[in-house]
Amino acid sequence: MLSIIIPSYRDPCLNPTVESLLHNSKGEIEIICVLDGYWTSPIDDPRVKVIHLGKNRGMREAINAAVAIAKGEYLMRTDEHCVFGEAYDLILIHDLQDNWIVTPRRYFLDVEKWQVMDLPPVDYSNLKIMRVEGGRKFHGYEDKKTAQQRANILIDETFAMQGSCWIMKRSWWDKVIGRLESDGYGTHYQDSVEMVFKTWKKGGKLMVDKKTWFAHKHRDFKRTHHYSHKKAVPEWKYVLRVWEGYYKKLIKKERINYHR
C-alpha cells in the first residue's frame, strides 16, 4: 500500500488534489489529509482519512502526524495544490530502491483553470547557499544544463528538490528520517534539505523519476499560508549551522559535480 500524506492549511485546492490522486491511481492507496488547525469537508471515499489538528502546528508536525498513522509500505507526500499523471503510484513504486527518496518530473499548474501550464518541466535541481535579507539559506535551483545533457535517462540522481512531492519506503523513513524536526528548523521550511542530507549521510540517494509527473501550483498564484520572512531567517541560520560543514566537505565536492 502507498500512504499519501497531504499537509493542508486553508487551501481551496485540497479536494481537487485528492480527486486527482484518486482518479489517477492504479494500485492500493490511502490518502491522509492533515487539516492543520482548520476544518473543511473532505471527499467521501473510503481511501481518504482525515486528521484534524486542533491548532495550527505547521507543515512539519502535520507530516509527522500523518506518518504516525500511515499503514503503507511506501510513503508519499504532496502539497495540497497538485495534479498527477496516470498510474503515478505504480510507476513511482516500481523502481523505488530501499535507500532512495524519489521526486517525479514537475510541471506547473494553473489553479484557476485547473490545467497543466504550457511550460517545460523541472527535472534536475542543484543546491547552493544564497544570500537573503537578514542572512543566508540553502536554496535549490533548476539545473537546465543537466536536463538537456541527460534527457534520455528516465531515472537519475538529482541534488535538490522542491519538496512538494516525494516518495520513499516507510522503512527508510523509520531508519533514517525518524521525524521532521521543528526545534531549530521551525515549522514550515527546509524539510527537503533535512531529509536529503540525512539520506546522503546514510548512503542513500535523491532521485528524479521522469516516467511519471505531477504539476504543482505555479508561483504566480497566491499562497494560503503567511509565514513571515522575519520568522524564517533564524530558522534558515539554524539549518546552516547543522549542515553547512557537511555540504561544503562532501556535497559540493562530490555530489554537486557528479554529472559533470
Average pLDDT, the chain: 93
Question: Does residue 260 fall inside a structural domain?
Answer: no
The H-assigned helical ranges of 45-100 are 59-69, 88-94
Tell whether the model's pLDDT for residue 106 goes beyond 70: yes
CATH code at 206? 3.90.550.10
Tell whether the model's pLDDT for residue 176 goes beyond 80: yes
Task: Find cell 469537508 and name the residue.
Answer: 41
Question: Does residue 151 fall inside a structural domain?
Answer: yes
Question: Does residue 243 fall inside a structural domain?
Answer: yes
Question: Does residue 10 fall inside a structural domain?
Answer: yes
pLDDT grade for 252, boundaries at 50, 70 and 90: low
Task: Say which residues have a Cβ less than 8 Å from residue 224's Cβ, sequence separation at least 6.
Answer: 9, 10, 11, 12
Report the distance separating Cα 100 and Cα 76, nearest Å. 12
pLDDT value, residue 66: 98
Q: Encode pLDDT of 127-150 as tens digits.
A: 999 998 888 999 999 999 999 999
pLDDT value, residue 241: 96
- Residues spanned by the domain of 242: 2-255
pLDDT value, residue 253: 66
Percent of the chain scoring above 70 in pLDDT: 95
pLDDT value, residue 143: 95
pLDDT grade for 254, boundaries at 50, 70 and 90: low
Question: Does residue 216 fall inside a structural domain?
Answer: yes
Tell whether the model's pLDDT for residue 230 goes beyond 90: no
Closest CA to 189 of 8, 33, 60: 60
Cell of 162: 522542491
Q: Structural domain tally of the chain?
A: 1
pTM listed for this prediction? 0.95
Q: Is 144 helix (H, G, I), strand (E, B) or coil?
A: helix
Tell whether the model's pLDDT for residue 258 goes beyond 60: no
pLDDT value, residue 222: 74
pLDDT value, residue 238: 96
Report the distance separating Cα 206 and Cα 244, nearest Å. 18
Among 17-31, 114-128, 154-168, 245-259, name the one with the lowest average pLDDT.
245-259
Question: Does residue 70 fall inside a structural domain?
Answer: yes
Q: Is 244 helix (H, G, I), strand (E, B) or coil?
A: helix
Task: Say which residues have a Cβ less than 8 Å from residue 251's Cβ, sequence separation at least 6.
Answer: 127, 159, 197, 200
Contact present, 102 and 30 (Cβ < 8 Å): no
Question: Does residue 168 fall inside a structural domain?
Answer: yes
Strands (E), 186-257: 205-217
Tell whether the model's pLDDT for residue 38 goes beyond 80: yes
Report the distance separating Cα 186 and Cα 239, nearest Å. 10
Q: Encode pLDDT of 71-92 as tens digits.
A: 999 999 999 999 999 999 999 9
Q: What is the dihedral of CA 193, 198, 202, 207, to 10 degrees?
A: -30
